[in-house]
């Protein structure tokens, strides 16, 4: 079943599309038409991320709390590693004593999925609530917002690749910065953590998969992805610093 055909979801999707279109129309006289759409997507993304700040703070606090307990958990594993039942009981006792849940931050993260799905749908779907998605019909510097880098490359539209390619480079840069900040925050939260395994080091490069996604997604979605990734990286870094300093 196509979720966008479900009436409540379709109505929300249509409302979000109308809101972004209205923002683009409001600034259309100030900026060129296509650029106005890019700015509207950016503004809409920032508004959504601002509404989700409590989720981001909850996740950051949970990460810091788990990192604070990591040395004690490693000590328990060394002491009771041969007795799984005892280790499980002692681990649960530690979480209870420290008032930390191993699932902290999970529910807020799940709660944001519907919101992200709506925003993603607005910037990727050719039709919204039965009508054409006007946002993706615009072009910016000759590049259609509804086309992806992969589509333009396959079609040989080299003249239209400049902006999509610039977005891919930007997203790659944000992903690398995000990885660097996340590793630095992890070291600050748990200085005694053992060196990661080869698999663990490889997993730290997962943010770069966003470049692959951006290459096959409509350019409008790539703009959303770049802004959202940058926000997430900055928000997580600042929040973790705050909770580390506060001893959360």
Query: For 154-170, how does the pLDDT look when each residue is reduced to its tens digit (9 = 90+)?
Result: 999 888 999 999 999 99
The residue written with tokens 């409001």 in the block is 26
In this prediction, residue 174 has a pLDDT band, given cuts at 50, 70 and 90, of: very high
Residues 6+ apart with CB under 8 A from 81: 87
Task: Quote the mean pLDDT of the chain.
Answer: 83
Query: What per-residue confidence (pLDDT) applies to 2?
Result: 53
Domain boundaries, the chain: 141-248
Of 8-22, 82-96, 186-200, which one has max mean pLDDT? Answer: 82-96
In this prediction, residue 132 has a pLDDT band, given cuts at 50, 70 and 90, of: confident
Query: What per-residue confidence (pLDDT) applies to 108?
Result: 59
More confident residue, 39 or 246: 39
pTM of the shown model = 0.83
The model's pLDDT over 108-118, given as tens digits with 9 standing for 90+, comes to 567 667 766 77
Query: What per-residue confidence (pLDDT) applies to 170?
Result: 96
The pair phi, psi for residue 247, each rounded to 5°, is: 75, 30
Residue 153 has pLDDT above 70, yes or no: yes
Angle at 237 between CA 75 and CA 213, to 5 degrees: 100
Query: What per-residue confidence (pLDDT) applies to 88?
Result: 87
Query: What per-residue confidence (pLDDT) applies to 1?
Result: 46
Residues 6+ apart with CB under 8 A from 180: none
Say if residues 141 and 135 touch (Cβ distance below 8 Å): no
Residue 107 has pLDDT above 70, yes or no: no
In this prediction, residue 105 has a pLDDT band, given cuts at 50, 70 and 90, of: low
Query: What per-residue confidence (pLDDT) applies to 165?
Result: 94
Per-residue pLDDT, averaged over 216-225, amounts to: 88
The CA distances from residue 166 to 116, 118, 126, 160, in Å, are 24, 25, 23, 11
């Amino acid at each position: 079943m196509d979720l966008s055909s479900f009436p409540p979801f379709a109505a929300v999707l249509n409302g979000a599309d109308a809101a972004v279109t209205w923002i683009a129309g409001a600034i259309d006289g100030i900026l060129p038409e296509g650029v106005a759409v890019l700015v509207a997507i950016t503004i809409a993304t920032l508004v959504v991320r601002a509404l989700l700040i409590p989720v981001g703070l909850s996740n950051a606090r949970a990460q810091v709390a788990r990192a604070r307990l990591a040395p004690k958990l490693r000590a328990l594993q060394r002491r009771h590693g041969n007795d799984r039942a005892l280790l499980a009981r002692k681990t649960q006792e530690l979480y209870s004593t420290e008032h930390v849940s191993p699932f902290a931050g999970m529910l807020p993260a799940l709660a944001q999925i519907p919101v992200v799905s709506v925003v993603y749908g607005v910037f990727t779907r050719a039709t919204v609530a039965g009508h054409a998605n006007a946002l993706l019909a615009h072009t910016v510097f000759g590049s259609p917002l509804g086309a992806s880098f992969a589509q333009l490359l396959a079609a040989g539209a080299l003249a239209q690749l400049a902006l999509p390619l610039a977005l891919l480079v930007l997203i790659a840069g944000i992903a690398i910065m995000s990885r660097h900040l996340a590793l630095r925050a992890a070291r600050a939260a748990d200085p005694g953590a053992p060196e990661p395994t080869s698999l663990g080091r490889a997993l730290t490069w997962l943010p770069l998969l966003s470049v692959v996604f951006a290459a096959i997604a409509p350019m409008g979605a790539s703009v959303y992805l770049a802004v959202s990734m940058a926000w997430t990286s900055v928000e997580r870094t600042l929040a973790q610093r705050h909770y580390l300093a506060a001893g959360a």
